[in-house]
Amino acid sequence: MTTLPDAAGTGRAVPDAAALPAIRRRTTAVLIASQILGGLANATGIALAAVLAAEISGRQALSGLASAAMVAGPALLAMPLAALMTRRGRRPGLVLAYLLGAAGAAVVVTGAVLGSFPLLLCGMAVFGAGSLGNLQARYAAADLAEPARRARAISTVVWATTIGAVLGPNIAAPAGHSVTRFGIPAAAGPFVWAAGVFLLSAVLVAVLLRPDPLLTARALDGSAAHSAAARSLRAGVSAVRRSPRARLALVTVALSHTAMVSIMSMTPVALTRHGADIQLIGLVISVHIAGMYAFSPVMGRLADRLGRLSVIGLAAGLLCCAALLAGTAGTRHGQTMAGLFLLGLGWSAGLVSGSALLTDSVPGPARAAVQGLCDLTMNVAAGLGGLTAGLIVARAGYGWLNAAGAALLLPLAGLALFTSRRHGTRETARTATTE
């Protein structure tokens, strides 16, 4: 690769124009492969997490703690992981996330074998780090993307999760059957398989994600010369405060994720109450995950062509429709499946458009910190949502949970409309003016 000294005078080598397309292709290929594996591991474990929690605790009202733990863990890890990436790049951060996911899966299995609910929840919290790795990979895709194609770059990596994520719930049953002979509960079997897949993903990223996309992007735009203070969490918070669009982006990602996690996590419990077996539950979750990932390139193209704000409005509408369908389905499992598909589609629209808008709206040096702040916010919000979801279903029912999810989206729709009218309905992808 031909290189030349960077303009900032730091001595860092930067790729020339001829080398950059090849680096983009290599980075994208590695991220796609890691997303497939990470999606497989995450979805395999998530498929029966609530069922396993109810089984070990003996109380259905506590089943929502499984999803709460799996988003609380990433919330606690989001900023340390962002700090690591800020200092050393995307590759060590992603490797650490996948290794933690594997370790968490092992702890979940240990808790299930011992019948320890607290240990089970601790394992699920650490297991959630794997999903944090998959989420952070979308920003790695944006690091080297051209501004006008940033949403599509994010959506391509998000889309890659489809393959593993759709397959994951459908192998939950054979994964469970494969471990019962060793005295491991069937519902914990998916976590055994997930541990091995996360380890494979960590090795892949460690070996092949070179050069590091974040460090390369900094060398290209000269932001490597900025001080550590310019890349700190405080700088990230200040950047969000100064930008109404960044605030909208953060709210979009957080509320979309919270609504999705809250409703999705309790759907297996609701289906079980209405007589669904494990195969049907796996199919419904697979369709939901297909909605989350399979159409993300469409959302990316729409966000680049029509504007981020238009797709944020679409996300709010899709999520509300999903809550209406799922919440009124009852024993009509086909309607539940349709609702969960729209739930995934709305999440995809919100994640892609929100992530692209966030990256557009803050200066380059602070982006890694802001992105970590975004994932911290979305996981804290979703953790509270998952915790509350179990209580709502136990006390009022699954229909009321969906009604609460729809109500949660009203502020998002109003904020998107206000920002759209203030700044114009048609957006163009662009970097922050300070960049």
Residues 158 and 356: their CA atoms lie apart, in Å, by 12
Cis ω for the linkage preceding 211 (within 30 of 0)? yes
Residues 433 and 435: their CA atoms lie apart, in Å, by 5
Is residue 324 packed enough to be buried (19+ CB in 10 Å), middle (13-18) or exposed (0-12)? middle
Residue 14: its H or E element = strand 13-15
- pLDDT at position 223 is 60
Residues 79 and 356: their CA atoms lie apart, in Å, by 19
In three-state secondary structure terms, 15 is: strand
Q: What is the DSSP letter of 181?
A: G
- At 47, which amino acid appears? A
- pLDDT at position 230 is 59
DSSP 63-116: THHHHHHHHHHHHHHHHHHHHHHHHH-HHHHHHHHHHHHHHHHHHHHHHHHHT-
The C-alpha torsion from 285 through 302 and 359 to 78, rounded to 10°, is: 0
Residues 1 and 348: their CA atoms lie apart, in Å, by 36
- pLDDT at position 228 is 61
Residues of the chain scoring pLDDT < 70: 1-15, 17, 61, 222-232, 420-435
Which residue, among 209, 257, 194, 287, has the nearest Cα to 32 in the 3D structure? 209
